[in-house]
């Protein structure tokens, strides 16, 4: 049975709003209605009923058809006073509090807090998020105003207030508290100042520029002939990263983006140790002109503590990884000994030098130094590195949610018969593959017909469920291409003809629907154009949204053939990178380069990037190449 009937909601609107100039925060207009109405809309479906705790303008709050309860303590005594009032009136066993200035609160707040409360048999469940501060460090942020608690806690709370305390979490010591980690910190954002109110009015985070502002910085901006590098720059400046962070078990973090620097808590290795199985001795003691025999005073195994000291004329048997004994700085690999017998180990002159085969404490990682930087995509070596620090969990950015669909009446899905003039939808498969490779959470929305209402519904739904949207088709100048009109109507979207081949038309911007917004990449319909536009525009932008640093490396390679190329535009040609007869790398172009010929894309293992200013390429010239696959 659902828990909903056991929970009442309480919106805390009784504060003074000192940072907002003492206006009544809950009643401030925001995106077409009062702030409290947004909170009410999100909270009401999650609970049996909602009440508001307010101390001013009571009739205005009552107009939302909810009970309104002022504090019993007089003098704006803070949120706990509101909570006390709420507990006193509450007629369900549980009460859920939220502040009136949090219009983005999560839809699953009650469900998640309730689950933790019952699983952990707690008195109170409170929301927690992980946030990255300005110095790049990760910290836990507890949100005591987002709490689910037992109504029976009223006596404890009243006693706490009677003793003069007002801190929201100050009474947690006396009750059982369950902390619930939410991965979307932005959902808990509260609006504290009039400036923030204006800022969030259009869904824009702090200081986000409009597309027109970004474009305004380009002296010779021409959307009908936009150089590739300008389009890339505009997109990069307009995109904003998602901030939500989640804590994952180490192995689950593979291919995810590190959310905060990892500072090494220990030195690796923790001690100077031997790099070889052999004999440790003092470097100053090595032979001069004649062989020397050293007596063996003990054996050191890796991982075994010891208190051996080695004097002049002595050595100690040591295994790889064994901790170097005091005074020793050199290891003789055992196979280099001139003689090993009961008298000891004999070393000939000149076989090793002082300091050989010793690994220093901290030579891999020194305690207190950054081991990995935020923004790094976690690869197999990083998993090992983090494990070497003894860390079981890492903080990563939440996965980026990307919705995608294809547009066009001529498209058929696999399994459907192919009517005359129709083609199977291949773009949804290439896009799926490319998004998966980037580590996105994908939402496949199928094929959308060339119909304005269907396109609008699809874009709105994508916008409400994803961080970014990738569409294909309908961005050129064709008669049935409604896509552009609908995209433009839903937000800040611009349409470009880019100086490139393939992939000339591109729509880019941000759309809004029901208080949600998403970045939009309207890619051209031709099957190769869609891939090229994804790789050279969407890829970097999506990575930036994920908070990742992953530039595309360009290799300079000799072209095995001549390539025709017009200066004044960037051409991306499908290439096969291999080696010539002498084993040197070379690249050749796959067959037809038409933007509908997917076969030649499939045969290719790289793209040859011929830049704007470049003209024809002669056989043997060096060209830039981007590989499709990397080793990791």
Ligand X SMILES: Nc1nc2c(c(=O)[nH]1)N[C@H]1C(S)=C(S)[C@@H](COP(=O)(O)OP(=O)(O)OC[C@H]3O[C@@H](n4cnc5c(N)ncnc54)[C@H](O)[C@@H]3O)O[C@H]1N2
Residues in the annotated binding site for GTP: 12-14, 25, 53, 71, 101
> Minimal CB distance to ligand MOO: which residue?
595
- In the bound state with ligand X, the residue whose beta carbon lies nearer, of 78 and 525, is 525
Q: Is 524 in the site for ligand MOO (CB under 6 A)?
A: yes
Say what the alpha-carbon torsion angle 303, 355, 328, 316 is, to the nearest 10 degrees. Answer: 70
Asked if 469 and 511 count as a contact pair (C-beta separation under 8 A), the reply is yes
Q: Is 529 in the site for ligand MOO (CB under 6 A)?
A: yes
- In angstroms, the CA 389 to CA 384 distance is 9
- In the bound state with ligand X, the residue whose beta carbon lies nearer, of 190 and 595, is 595
- In the bound state with ligand X, the residue whose beta carbon lies nearer, of 9 and 505, is 505
Tokens 């401030």 correspond to what residue? 28
- In the bound state with ligand X, the residue whose beta carbon lies nearer, of 129 and 406, is 406
If contact means CB under 5 to 8 A according to the sort of partner, which of ligand MOO, Mg ion, ligand X, none does residue 183 touch?
none
If contact means CB under 5 to 8 A according to the sort of partner, which of ligand MOO, Mg ion, ligand X, none does residue 216 touch?
none
Q: 386-400 in b/e burial notation, b at 16+ Cβ within 10 A?
A: beebeeeebbbbbbb
- By CB under 5 A, name the one of 57, 334, 461, 476 that touches Mg ion: 476
Asked if 445 and 403 count as a contact pair (C-beta separation under 8 A), the reply is yes
- In the bound state with ligand MOO, the residue whose beta carbon lies nearer, of 116 and 231, is 231
Least distance in Å: CB of 570 to ligand MOO?
11
Q: Is 501 in the site for ligand MOO (CB under 6 A)?
A: yes
Number of residues that bind ligand MOO (CB under 6 A): 8
Residue 110, number of CB atoms within 10 A of its CB: 24
- In the bound state with Mg ion, the residue whose beta carbon lies nearer, of 120 and 476, is 476
Instruction: Write out the E strands in 392-547.
Output: 393-397, 401-407, 411-412, 423-424, 441-448, 468-472, 491-497, 500-501, 505-513, 516-523
Residue ranges for the known binding site for Mg(2+) are 101
Q: Is 510 in the site for ligand MOO (CB under 6 A)?
A: no
Residue span binding ligand MOO (CB under 6 A) among the ranges 24-32, 112-120, 367-375, 500-508: 500-508
DSSP per-residue codes, 505-544: EEEEEEEEETTEEEEEEEE-SSHHHHHHHIIIIIHHHHHH
Residues that bind ligand X (CB under 6 A): 406, 408, 410-411, 423, 425-428, 472-478, 481, 504-505, 524-527, 529, 595
Q: Is 38 in the site for ligand MOO (CB under 6 A)?
A: no
- In the bound state with ligand X, the residue whose beta carbon lies nearer, of 528 and 563, is 528
- In the bound state with ligand X, the residue whose beta carbon lies nearer, of 291 and 594, is 594
If contact means CB under 5 to 8 A according to the sort of partner, which of ligand X, Mg ion, ligand MOO, none does residue 569 touch?
none
If contact means CB under 5 to 8 A according to the sort of partner, which of ligand MOO, ligand X, Mg ion, none does residue 144 touch?
none
Least distance in Å: CB of 536 to ligand X?
14
- By CB under 6 A, name the one of 66, 483, 526, 586 that touches ligand MOO: 526
Q: Is 410 in the site for Mg ion (CB under 5 A)?
A: no
- Kindly state the tokens that stand for 170: 């100050």
Pairing of strands 516-523, 505-513: antiparallel
- In angstroms, the CA 589 to CA 594 distance is 12
Which residues on adjacent β-strands are paired with residue 129? Answer: 141, 182
Residue span binding ligand MOO (CB under 6 A) among the ranges 228-236, 438-446, 454-462, 524-532: 524-532
Residue 305, number of CB atoms within 10 A of its CB: 8
Q: Could you tell me how many residues make up the chain? A: 632
- By CB under 5 A, name the one of 446, 478, 567, 568 that touches Mg ion: 478
57 φ/ψ sector (left φ>0, alpha ψ -120 to 50, else beta): left
Residue ranges for the known binding site are 12-14, 25, 53, 71, 101
Asked if 463 and 512 count as a contact pair (C-beta separation under 8 A), the reply is yes
- By CB under 6 A, name the one of 499, 502, 522, 547 that touches ligand MOO: 502
The CA-CA-CA angle for residues 318, 324, 327, to 5°, reads 120
Number of residues that bind Mg ion (CB under 5 A): 3
If contact means CB under 5 to 8 A according to the sort of partner, which of ligand X, ligand MOO, Mg ion, none does residue 425 touch?
ligand X
- In angstroms, the CA 526 to CA 534 distance is 12
The CA-CA-CA angle for residues 497, 503, 509, to 5°, reads 60
Q: Is 449 in the site for Mg ion (CB under 5 A)?
A: no
Give me the phi and psi of 111, to 5 degrees please.
-60, -45
Q: Using CB under 6 A as the criterion, which residues of the chain lie in contact with ligand MOO when the complex forms?
A: 501-504, 524, 526, 529, 595
Q: Using CB under 5 A as the criterion, which residues of the chain lie in contact with Mg ion when the complex forms?
A: 476, 478, 481
């Amino acid at each position: 049975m659902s828990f909903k009937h056991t929970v009442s909601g309480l919106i805390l609107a009784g504060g003074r709003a000192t940072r907002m100039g003492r206006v009544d925060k809950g009643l401030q207009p925001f995106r077409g209605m009062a702030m409290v109405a947004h909170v009410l809309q999100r909270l009401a479906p999650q609970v049996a009923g909602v009440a508001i705790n307010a101390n001013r303008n009571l009739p205005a709050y009552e107009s939302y058809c909810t009970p309104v309860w002022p504090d019993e303590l007089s003098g704006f005594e803070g949120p706990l006073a509101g909570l006390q009032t709420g507990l006193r009136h509450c007629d369900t066993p549980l009460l859920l509090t939220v502040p009136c200035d949090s219009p983005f609160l999560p839809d699953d707040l009650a469900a998640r807090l309730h689950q933790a409360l019952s699983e952990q048999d707690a008195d109170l469940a409170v929301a927690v998020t992980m946030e990255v501060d300005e110095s790049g460090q990760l910290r836990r942020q507890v949100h005591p105003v987002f709490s689910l608690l037992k109504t029976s806690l009223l006596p404890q709370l009243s006693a706490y207030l009677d003793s003069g305390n007002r801190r929201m979490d100050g009474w947690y010591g006396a009750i059982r508290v369950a902390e619930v980690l939410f991965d979307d910190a932005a959902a808990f954002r509260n609006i504290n100042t009039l400036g923030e109110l204006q800022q969030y009015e259009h869904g824009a985070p702090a200081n986000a520029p409009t597309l027109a502002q970004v474009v305004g910085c380009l002296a010779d901006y021409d959307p009908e002939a936009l150089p590739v590098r300008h389009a890339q720059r505009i997109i990069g400046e307009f995109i904003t990263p998602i901030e939500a962070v989640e804590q994952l078990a180490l192995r689950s973090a593979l291919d995810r983006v590190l959310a905060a620097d990892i500072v090494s808590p220990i030195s690796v290795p923790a001690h100077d140790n031997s790099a070889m199985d052999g004999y440790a001795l003092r470097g100053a003691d090595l032979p001069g002109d004649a062989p020397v025999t050293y007596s063996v005073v003990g054996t050191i195994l890796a991982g075994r503590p010891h208190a051996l000291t080695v004097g002049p004329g002595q050595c100690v048997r040591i295994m790889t990884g064994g901790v170097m004994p005091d005074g020793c700085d050199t290891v003789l690999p055992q196979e280099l000994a001139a003689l090993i017998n009961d008298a000891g180990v004999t070393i000939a002159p000149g076989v090793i030098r002082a300091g050989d085969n010793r690994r220093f404490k901290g030579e891999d990682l020194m305690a207190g130094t950054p081991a990995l930087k935020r923004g790094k995509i976690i690869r197999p070596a990083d998993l090992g590195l983090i494990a070497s620090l003894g860390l079981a969990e890492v903080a990563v950015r939440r996965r980026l949610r990307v919705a995608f669909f294809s547009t066009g009446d001529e498209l058929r899905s696999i399994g459907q018969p192919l009517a005359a003039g129709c083609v199977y939808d291949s773009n949804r498969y290439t896009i799926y593959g490319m998004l998966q490779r980037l580590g996105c959470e994908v939402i496949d929305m199928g094929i959308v017909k060339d119909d304005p209402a269907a396109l609008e519904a699809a874009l709105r739904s994508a916008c409400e469920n994803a961080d970014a949207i990738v569409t294909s088709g309908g961005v050129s100048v064709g008669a049935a291409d409604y896509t552009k009109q609908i995209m433009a109507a839903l937000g800040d979207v611009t349409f470009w003809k880019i100086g490139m081949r393939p992939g000339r038309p591109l729509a880019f911007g941000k759309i809004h629907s029901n208080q949600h917004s998403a970045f939009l990449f309207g890619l051209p319909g031709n099957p190769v154009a869609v891939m090229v536009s994804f790789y050279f525009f969407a890829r970097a932008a999506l990575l930036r949204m994920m908070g990742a640093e992953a530039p595309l490396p360009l290799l300079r390679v000799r072209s095995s053939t001549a390539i025709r190329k017009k200066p004044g535009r960037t051409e991306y040609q499908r290439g096969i990178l291999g080696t010539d007869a002498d084993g040197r790398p070379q690249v050749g172009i796959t067959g037809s380069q038409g933007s509908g010929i997917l076969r030649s894309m499939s045969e290719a293992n790289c793209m040859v990037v011929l830049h704007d200013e470049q003209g024809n390429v002669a056989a043997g010239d060096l060209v830039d190449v981007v590989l499709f696959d990397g080793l990791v």
